[in-house]
Amino acid sequence: MATRVRPSNKRCAVIGGSGFLGRHLVETLVDRGYSVSVFDIRQSYELPGLTFHLGDLCDEQALLPALKNASLVFHCASPAPASDDRELFERVNIQGTRTVIQACLEAGVQKLVLTSSASVVFEGKDIKNGQEDLPYARKPIDYYTETKIEQEKLVLQACDREKDFLTVAIRPHGIFGPRDPQLVPILVDTARRGKMKFIIGDGTNLVDFTFVENVVHGHILAAENLRPNSPICGKPYHITNDEPVRFWDFMSEVLVALGYAAPRFHLPYILVYGLALLLWLLSMILRPVLSFKPTFTPMRVALAGTHHYYSCDRAKQDLGYKPVVSLKEGIQRTVQSYPHLRKGA
């Protein structure tokens, strides 16, 4: 009988390894002695010893060479959350994730770590210290969230000790750090256009913002603890900075550190949410003749005006997780990494 060649434990693939989180993950894995192959639709950097495979994750034939000899796969690719292209989200996050699972099984991969999102339980209403047993959002707030829910279910249900295929999902929240293309750049762009003068609601809502290196740390701990007898198989884990902060204090700290004024005037949440909904509907109706993307989408307004912070006790207990970079240090390092976004630059 032919024996299956066991791939090296330190050989892994990162799907989405050119993206913000993916690249930080790749760099840390390389530092820790892993041999890494990157699969992405684009190549954004080079690193000695790293193999890049370019392609669409929905294409199994393109994926297979990247997974060859890997015992561990991280899947952290997704279309940008700001997109409103439903078809793209369904194709990549749902159909594409089925393809990733299939390709892992064919290539003999033993462990799959998915980057999910804490937002899979968020419906636009307050979540305070949310645990992993909260139900998935029944009314997901956008296509991104809707398809991240299906994606997480697919990956967790694929966990099968009999087939020697173990899966786990990491649910980060509000990732920030050097090279993030979303949070700080969108914030600064909004400030430069004079639209960051207002606080939505009373400004006391608490939120998790998670420094990218803590998210990477959570992923690697999950991968290294994923064994047939471990309690983590087939489960989701919140990974946060474990320091909920007022949404508007966080935004103000980043803005002020970059030389912009902090927002000062308050607007009622319900008014801004209603306006955002109206603008979004208008943008949909007018799409065939006029294309515009409102800055204050219903999703962003909901995130800016509600509590959404999560407990990471389960990760502490099962993975031995503890944030490695504090929020204060994370903000400092992030701000320093964006000299071109400073006022007047």
Ligand X SMILES: NC(=O)C1=CN([C@@H]2O[C@H](COP(=O)(O)OP(=O)(O)OC[C@H]3O[C@@H](n4cnc5c(N)ncnc54)[C@H](OP(=O)(O)O)[C@@H]3O)[C@@H](O)[C@H]2O)C=CC1
Ligand Y SMILES: CC(C)CCC[C@@H](C)[C@H]1CC[C@H]2C3=C(CC[C@]12C)[C@@]1(C)CCC(=O)C[C@@H]1CC3
Residue positions annotated with a catalytic role = 144
Q: Report how far residue 310's alpha carbon sits from residue 120's, in angstroms, rounded to the nearest whole number.
A: 12
Least separation in angstroms between residue 193's CB and ligand Y is: 10
**Residue 300 near ligand Y by CB under 6 A:** yes
**Residue 81 near ligand Y by CB under 6 A:** yes
The footprint of ligand X on residues 114-153 (CB under 6 A) is 115, 117, 148
The number of residues that bind ligand X (CB under 6 A) is 28
Looking at the Cβ atoms of 181 and 268, the one nearer to ligand X is 181
The number of residues that bind ligand Y (CB under 6 A) is 13
**CA angle, 232 then 236 then 242, to 5°:** 100
The footprint of ligand Y on residues 140-199 (CB under 6 A) is 174, 182-183, 186-187, 190
**Residue 178 near ligand X by CB under 6 A:** no
Least separation in angstroms between residue 170's CB and ligand X is: 8
Taking CB within 5 to 8 Å according to partner kind, which of ligand Y, ligand X, none is near residue 96?
ligand X
Contact predicate 114/170, CB 8 Å: yes
Taking CB within 5 to 8 Å according to partner kind, which of ligand Y, ligand X, none is near residue 212?
none
Looking at the Cβ atoms of 71 and 78, the one nearer to ligand Y is 78
Least separation in angstroms between residue 97's CB and ligand Y is: 15
Q: Which residue of 21, 73, 154, 155 would you call a contact of ligand X, by CB under 6 A?
A: 21
Using alpha carbons, list the distances in angstroms from residue 70 to 9, 40, 106, 167.
8, 16, 12, 15
Specify the length of the chain in residues: 345
Could you give the dihedral angle defined by the CA atoms of residues 282, 283, 286 and 290, in that order, rounded to the nearest 10 degrees? 140
Q: Which residue of 174, 177, 263, 323 would you call a contact of ligand X, by CB under 6 A?
A: 174
Least separation in angstroms between residue 60's CB and ligand X is: 12
The residue ranges that bind ligand Y (CB under 6 A) are 81, 117, 119, 174, 182-183, 186-187, 190, 295, 300, 303-304
The residue ranges that bind ligand X (CB under 6 A) are 16, 18-22, 40-42, 56-58, 76-80, 92, 96, 115, 117, 148, 172-175, 181-182
